[in-house]
Structure 1
Amino acid sequence: MRLLVTRPDPDGARTAAALRERGHDVLVAPLLGIVPVADPAIGEGPWAAVAVTSANAIPALVSLPRSGVPVFTVGGKTAKAARAEGVADVRSADGDVHALAETIAAALPGATDPVLYLAGEERAGDLEGLLAGHGLSVKTVVVYRAVAQTRLPDAVRAALEAHEIDAVLHYSRRTAEAFLSACIVDSLDGAARAVRHLCLSPQVAAALRDTGAQDVHVAAHPDEANLFALL
């Protein structure tokens, strides 16, 4: 199959390599660039826990004094990235933001210190609201921003126009939206609606279906193995 991967590097490059090992022809269009926030106002705590929903927040996490403070991640990939940087007490929800909130709430009954949420500027889901429903307070600090690219690479534009892409893999709603916007700029919105879309979660799929895309499929569980299972 000829596939298009739209996630940012370095994750996009790793995904493309994994797909090529499986025998696929892969095009890459990293439509978001991740920019860290300089000197985010995190403060000194104390914190009941730290919550992380993306590996893009790990550099900010590593810089924190966090002795004895558990770190909760939304999934295994982010947990692995945290452990690779020497973070010891990492607990993965292995799901979405709802699963993360439930995991944190179950581990912190009656906590009075806030949960520190190291977040991106634009977020899917309402972790703060979900934790508030469990009586937990949250301090959210934006530690990175995703900057969208406005145009597709030439090779990707040509392949879409010729209907030579079998499927597009989408890992986040923001990336899916950036793909759709770039297709509109390049007058390829019709091709974007017609191509097959493989999505990590229902939230990602919704961004595509809202534009009229019909051939949209969602992974059984929000991880890469289940996304690849759609191929």
Structure 2
Amino acid sequence: MRVLVTRPEPASARTAAELERRGHEAVLLPLMQAVQQPEALASPPAPDTAALAVTSAEAMRVLETVPGDARAPFQSLPLFAVGRATARAAREAGFGDVSVADGDGHSLAELLIVNSGQNPGASIIYLTGTPRSPDFEAKMREAGRSMDVRECYLMVPSTYSDAAVIEKLTPMPDAILVYSSETARRLGDLHDRTAECLDWPRTRFLCLSEKIARALPADFQARSQWPMEPREDLLLLLL
């Protein structure tokens, strides 16, 4: 199958390699890109910090740009990752104590709340980007947990001319992989710009979660699917 990968680099290259290993043709068109903001990590964690929470591997890439003495206080903390890919990036970045949630903000918050039960007043550092889903922070606030939020990267739209989009999507992919709500919304914009030139009705939208599928334009939602858990290995099985 011809499959469009919309996630940012370098993750898109890894997904493309896995698709090709499975016998598919991967087409790369990252719709967002990360602008790193390492200055958000300039100050060390507060002395009462109990753990570090991460919802994206991009935060680990930013941390790796920080000099070793400034990075060490973060690496000494137990790290709670939203899912397997983020956990793998954390281990590669030098974290030894890594716990893994089930792939979304709610499950990450639940994991942290359970594990900080003996010390609910301790602060948790959250390395994150913007824009982002509010689910994790909302659940933590509900539970009365204190957080030090460090916005260490900014996700901005990648820009392509209509001609470049048409060239990439000709022939139209059989499936488009969608990893974020922001990307789902951007696909609607691409459709509006190229609908007369591309055969959009022939493609399926394989989304990492139902929440992401709901961010697609209404016409796309009927052709969307998502796995039972927000995991890429399960997403690719939908192909």
The TM-score with structure 2 as length reference comes to: 0.86
Give the conservation status (yes or no) of the 8 Å contact 2:131–2:154. yes
Provide closer, same or farther for how the CA distance between residues 183 and 42 of structure 1 changes in structure 2, counting only shifts above 3 A. farther
Provide closer, same or farther for how the CA distance between residues 150 and 140 of structure 1 changes in structure 2, counting only shifts above 3 A. same
Partner of 2:224: 216
Distance 1:67 1:196 in 2: 41
Give the conservation status (yes or no) of the 8 Å contact 2:33–2:158. yes
Deviation at 1:132, TM superposition (A): 1.8
Aligned residues: CA RMSD: 2.4
Distance 1:159 1:121 in 2: 28
Partner of 2:159: 150
Q: Secondary structure at the match of 1:219?
A: coil
Distance 1:43 1:10 in 2: 27
Partner of 2:29: 29
1:98-109 superposed matches below 5 A: 98-109=106-117
Q: Secondary structure at the match of 1:119?
A: strand
Give the conservation status (yes or no) of the 8 Å contact 2:213–2:221. no
Deviation at 1:106, TM superposition (A): 0.2
Partner of 2:81: 73
Q: Secondary structure at the match of 2:156?
A: strand
Distance 1:148 1:67 in 2: 30
Provide closer, same or farther for how the CA distance between residues 130 and 71 of structure 1 changes in structure 2, counting only shifts above 3 A. same
Distance 1:128 1:42 in 2: 22
Q: Deviations over 1:155-189 (max 9, x none)?
A: 65246465x31110111112222232233233469
Q: Deviations over 1:129-169 (max 9, x none)?
A: 2012222111211100111023368565246465x311101
- Which stretch of structure 1 is more off in the superposition, 105-114 or 3-12? 105-114
* Alignment pair present for 1:133 and 2:133: no
Q: Secondary structure at the match of 2:206?
A: strand
* Alignment pair present for 1:50 and 2:52: yes
Partner of 2:184: 176
Letter in 1 for 2:78: P
Q: Deviations over 1:45-103 (max 9, x none)?
A: 13121110000001344543136521101001101111011111111113211100000
Which runs of no fewer than 5 residues in structure 2 stay unpaired?
Answer: none
Q: Give identity over the alignment, percent.
A: 37
Give the conservation status (yes or no) of the 8 Å contact 1:49–1:116. yes
Distance 2:14 2:161 in 1: 20
Distance 1:150 1:184 in 2: 15
Give the conservation status (yes or no) of the 8 Å contact 1:193–1:214. no
Letter in 1 for 2:233: A
Provide closer, same or farther for how the CA distance between residues 60 and 151 of structure 1 changes in structure 2, counting only shifts above 3 A. closer
- Which stretch of structure 1 is more off in the superposition, 209-218 or 58-67? 58-67
Letter in 2 for 1:141: R
The TM-score with structure 1 as length reference comes to: 0.89
* Alignment pair present for 1:166 and 2:168: no
Letter in 2 for 1:150: T
